[in-house]
Chain A
Amino acid sequence: MAILVNKESRVICQGITGKNGTFHSLACRDYGTNMVGGVTPGKQGEYVDGIPVFNTVWAAVKETGANVSLIFVPAAHAMDPILEAVDAGIEVIVCITEGIPPLDTACALHTVREEGRRLIGPNTPGVISPPERCKVGIMPGYIHKPGPVGVISRSGTLTYEVVDQLTKAGVGQSTCIGLGGDPVVGMSFVDVLKLFKDDPATEAVVLIGEIGGAAEEQAAKYIKQEFNKPVVAYIAGRLAPPGKRMGHAGAIISGGTGTAQEKIRALSEAGATVIDNLTQVGAVMQKILG
């Protein structure tokens, strides 16, 4: 078991004939993901190393029964493919694209929520379920190992760092999800925690937050009230000066809110084990799991 994606997932890539789309579609397939097709308007009938290309998501869904989509479309046009995926019935949409205007994301997200679908990202490394050999994203697959820990993060390489520590400490992962570094993203910490709560394969969770917004505070509230599995948390950005976007569009302290200190306090009070030294996350989780 795992959450969001698994062995049964039938995955397409929107933008499969682009450089990144091709590279990562094949990397996902190499990892074990069931890549059933791709979409690039005007290129139906072509193949990307054996993966069939369709003109529209409707056609791809009709022919392949796809239910998960990985999106690599330039930022200026990325709202449209998200809406297309929703309209064609895709359940889980993973949008890797960075730099989508937030008002576009907000519009797309509205439709995603109204239709009861899941959007991961934008500006995310994606999602991977090692026990299911299913990767829908750009993370390096080989650092992962099947196991009992769920990982949720707003970051890419910081997540790889933590996963690498876990794996080297002998602690495997059930599912790892990057929520995305933008101010407006699809799934939140709380959305994912709810899924981990009901997932028998997940025994503990690593939550990696950063400055900006209030998603970590909301997670803290949910953990305190309803979440019954151990949580190890790390928050990046203690040194971030106010008013500056720290690489991620969403990582900004504005009006004195969204600081690392507030998030650390909220998570500690909720009973999470908050780690100060990033390099200790793996060791602490190993100890918790015994």
Chain B
Amino acid sequence: MDYRNVLTTCIYCGAGCSLYLQVLDGKVVGVLPAKQHPISEGRLCIKGWNAHAFIHHEDRLTRPLIRDNGAFREASWDEALTLIADRLREVRATHGPDAIGFLTSAKCTNEENYLLQKFARVVIGTNNVDHCARL
């Protein structure tokens, strides 16, 4: 029996509540609040209490999907990223940079979110940046 708790930060918004992921025999099975944390003080909202739910969820995407003729097919990362780059270039050339918007994620680190907005503003040339915590 291997039971351990891993301290982490809730991935759902910018408040930064702290929680423990309960790991039983290598599988994340639940969440416990972290009582010592100066922000969350052992409390969580409904998102924090369920922050583990997507980890092993059967609907979770594990590979890129590309839509071909209305249906998704699995693709390699190289193929997916090349397609994204080509289409971004094409849309920007045809309709201008403000035809493109970027949605970042609370599931990423601060640094990753910084990179995405930098990419939007400097590489693409738009301020259309928003965040999943506002959706």
**Chain A partners chain B:** no
**Residue ranges of B at the interface with A (Cβ–Cβ < 8 Å):** none
**Residue ranges of A at the interface with B (Cβ–Cβ < 8 Å):** none
